[in-house]
Amino acid sequence: MPFNTLLTEDRGAVRLITVNRPDKLNALNRETLTELHAAFAAAAGEASVRAVVLTGAGPKAFVAGADIAEMNGLTPVQARDFSRHGQALMTRIERLGKPVIAMLNGFALGGGLELAMACHLRLAADSAKVGQPEINLGLIPGFGGTQRLLRLAGRAATLELCLLGAPIGAERALQLGIVNRVVPAAELEATTFALAEQLARAAPQALRGILDAVLLGGEAGIDTGLDYETQGFALAFSTEDMKEGTGAFLAKRTPNFTGR
Catalytic site residue from 114, 160, 229, 240 = 114
Q: How far is 5 from 28, CA to CA, in rounded Å?
A: 9
Active-site residue, 134 included: yes
Active-site residue, 31 included: no
Catalytic site residue from 35, 134, 160, 197 = 134
Q: How far is 122 from 180, CA to CA, in rounded Å?
A: 5
Residues labelled as active-site residues: 114, 134
